[in-house]
Amino acid sequence: MAFLIDTFLLICLGTLLALIAKKRYKPESFLIYELSFITLALFYYMSLGLWLGYPMFGDFIDEDPTKFMYSGESMLLGFIGMTLPFNNWNELVKYPFWVGYGVIMFCTYPMWLFLGIKNGYRMFGRYPHQKGLMGLIK
């Protein structure tokens, strides 16, 4: 399930990053690159941790349905009806298609963020004097 959410979140965060970079614009600033690097690092940290089943979330992750959420593998692959949870990497590689799908998703994270940033530039403009599409509404 998280793979389906990640693309949407990265596009939305990219749009938000473009707005923040426009509001805090300075000609010599690398703010958009710094924010993009931090965003991608957090997404990779969280997604790889969930994919590999690392217990990074403390008591929130448990296989008890009354708890806050399921384990990382259940969140990432539960939408396809696989028998979950995976206990280790050896069980995960029994499903090569979904491992490939996961690898492709991980590799395309920068693309989704870039598309979000381009969307933000289109909506809000890149520089303070530009209005973007949102300027047409006023």
Residue ranges of the domains in the chain? 2-137
The pLDDT tens digits along the chain (138 residues) read 466 788 899 999 999 999 999 888 887 788 899 999 999 999 888 877 777 666 555 444 445 544 444 455 555 554 444 444 445 566 666 777 777 877 888 899 999 999 999 999 999 988 888 888 888 776
Which residues, 6 or more positions from 73, have their beta carbon under 8 angstroms from its beta carbon? 50, 51, 53, 84, 85, 86, 92
Amino acid at 108: T
Find the radius of gyration of the CA atoms of the chain: 18
Identify any residues that bridge with 61 across adjacent strands, giving them in sequence order: 69
This prediction's pTM: 0.72
Annotate 37-92 with DSSP letters as a single string. Answer: HHHHHHHHHHHHHHHHT---SGGGB-S-TTSSB--HHHHHHGGGT------SHHHH
